[in-house]
Chain A
Amino acid sequence: MSTPTITASVTIAGETVPRVELTPVAVDLLRSLWEEHGPLMFHQSGGCCDGSSPMLFMAGEFITSDQDVRLGQFDIAPANEPSQPLDFWMSAEQFNYWSHTFLTVDVVPGRGSGFSAEAPRGVRFLIRSELMTTMTPFAGSAETDTVQEDAVATPSKAVPA
């Protein structure tokens, strides 16, 4: 049976629509890394170098706080197997600018730095993004009056698969 796409449960209070999913290749890799390391967690990075990549750590290795948002929880266990919960986190200040996008965790060949657990396998987790139909894009934008009228086309309303 082929590996499915896995969508994270909703963990943000007041929300009803998932925010994160794993591609099948990401699921396979995570199951293999779980076998090697045990329980895992994601924290989405930003900034220099390998910023914008999700970092995979042993669960609890990265200490989250009120300054972080838990976007969702995956269960990467195969059907009828004991649960393997895996949280996806992002700093709250970064989430302010990402909240209108649905995130898909994919895998590409490469060699990221940082302390992410997949790097020794010669692959890297990568975020692909879609606009969320349920979110107002750029809510809270104070600069809409500065946009050149013709500079912004109508956002494509892609629906997360």
Chain B
Amino acid sequence: MTVYSVPGTPGSKVTFKSRYENWIGGEWVAPVKGQYFEDITPVTGKPFAEVARGTAEDIDLALDAAHKAAPAWGKTSPAERASVLNKIADLIDANVEMLAVAETWDNGKAVRETINADIPLAADHFRYFASAIRAQDGDHAQLDGDTVSYQFHEPLGVVGQIIPWNFPILMAVWKLAPALAAGNAIVLKPAEQTPVSILVLMELIGDILPPGVVNVVNGFGLEAGKPLASSNRIRKIAFTGETTTGRLILQYASANIIPSTVELGGKSPNIFFSDVAEEKDAFYDKAQEGFVLFAFNQGEVCTAPSRALLQKPIYDSFLGDAVTRARKIIQGNPLDTDTQMGAQASNDQLEKILSYIDIGTKEGAKLALGGERADLGGDLTDGYYVQPTIFEGHNKMRLFQEEIFGPVLAVTSFTDYDDAISIANDTIYGLGAGVWSRNGNVAYRAGRDIQAGRVWVNNYHAYPAGAAFGGYKSSGIGRENNKLALGHYQQTKNLLVSYSENKLGFF
């Protein structure tokens, strides 16, 4: 076991600056209005740095810088851009612990996750899109003997990106990597709960990129997010967050007639068919772990398997084993590599989770585990910790219908295949799902019948570069993590060429 030192103390992997300005045009730029806000670490509930409180004026400066940089960056060859992305990936890999500790301190998540997942995946996503852009061909069609249609991919120009707080660096990279690979310049606004770790990343990689290609402006949604999303100087807006803001962003995009991709969350079913319990073997152990993954990242994942559907014959035994397993989840100092569950990202998030535990109880759901705030004592006593919580109930309860974004699992039973699919699809969302069965036919059919963009079959919570990620239904529009995402950041230029010397003959 390792316990990383608190940032800024002797032996720590990272020391934060006391104040962070905006990253615009390849340098630190003070906010025009001179205002800052405090960044609080969820680990202790205490502020640790000041961050620029950007406004429309700062967004304008960032858009100026991006527009200055976009033409030259858009003309670079795919090989040049791939080289830049690969250098970024190498630098991230060389600084995993530093970035991981910074991320944990900003977000509250356990450092074993940032070290093993968030940061290495960030590097890999850059490498994937470095490869994807080099492998991307345009296409052509010979329409007749003298006429050829050529299709070229061109960058959109300047794009806006608004990032959530649950995986601050990784979610930024999911959007940065395809946009950069495709040759766009970017103005990015991090979430106000986690504004610093992305700036630590920019400190590291900023020199690799030409000035103005990536610009980061922090601030509140109303003051900085809205001016970015509604600007007529962006050619696309990408957003990950909740449905109301997603709709508002789509409304702004419609006013400017620009595309928008939005990823808006889910209420993902995790279906366990009876045959998983045929043997108490390695696969059963894997399925049990798959159930307990509701607590991964404190449940703050858009695809959290927050509805567990157990087939009736195994309901009691499977749930009993899983509750026993979930009870062993180690909560503690997020900087301790033995800690399995860290802090929720903010106080209002903590309060919201507790409000859902309250309504779940009032709706008559039966508490099988947890159900309270966790006081970890010492320096952590004011941090935002919640016990892993499991409720039993039915799918019409709000517990089963709303994304709690916390370590709260809602469990119900199903009779047969049709019942499982019916319950799984009885939700307004369609982002993720899990299917567990030893029968490949059943698992395949269920995977196809569930209306969700990502169905994990006999696994869960893997996010490899290359596997397309995005929502059906109210979970959003667009796909990330796959070469398909390049298309969200490119125009199609059609060159229709006549190689004939002969006139059309109309006039």
Contacts and interface: CB of A to CB of B under 8 A. Distances in A.
B392 A148 contact: yes
Interface string B352-368: 10011011011111100
A113 interface: yes
A153 B366 contact: yes
A30 B265 CA distance: 28
Contact of A46 (B348, B364, B366, B402): B402
Interface in A29-50: 43-50
A143 interface: yes
A116 B192 contact: no
Contacts of B347: 108-111
B396 A129 contact: no
Given A50-B348, A126-B352, 12 more contacts: A47-B403, A47-B429, A49-B164, A49-B165, A62-B244, A62-B248, A110-B349, A113-B192, A117-B222, A119-B222, A147-B413, A151-B392
B395 A110 contact: no
Interface string B442-481: 0000000000000000000000000000000011000000
B397 interface: yes
Interface residues on B, range: 35 or more
Interface in B328-375: 346-349, 351-352, 355-356, 358-359, 361-366
A93 B264 CA distance: 15
Given A152-B364, A155-B363, A62 B247 contact: yes
A146 B414 contact: yes
A7 interface: no
Interface in A113-161: 113-117, 119-120, 124, 126-131, 137-138, 140-148, 150-156, 158
Contacts, number: 233
B463 to A, nearest CB: 15
Nearest to B248: A62
Contacts of B102: none
Given A48-B240, A51-B265, A138 B413 contact: no
5 contacts: A46-B244, A48-B166, A55-B245, A138-B397, A142-B426
B436 to A, nearest CB: 18
Contacts of B398: 97-98, 101, 129
Contacts of A142: 422, 426
B413 to A, nearest CB: 6
A115 B243 CA distance: 12
B302 interface: yes
A93 B394 contact: no
A149 B42 CA distance: 39
Contact of B394 (A61, A101, A144): A144
A13 interface: no
A110 B242 contact: no
Given A52-B404, A93-B428, A120-B220, A47 B265 contact: yes
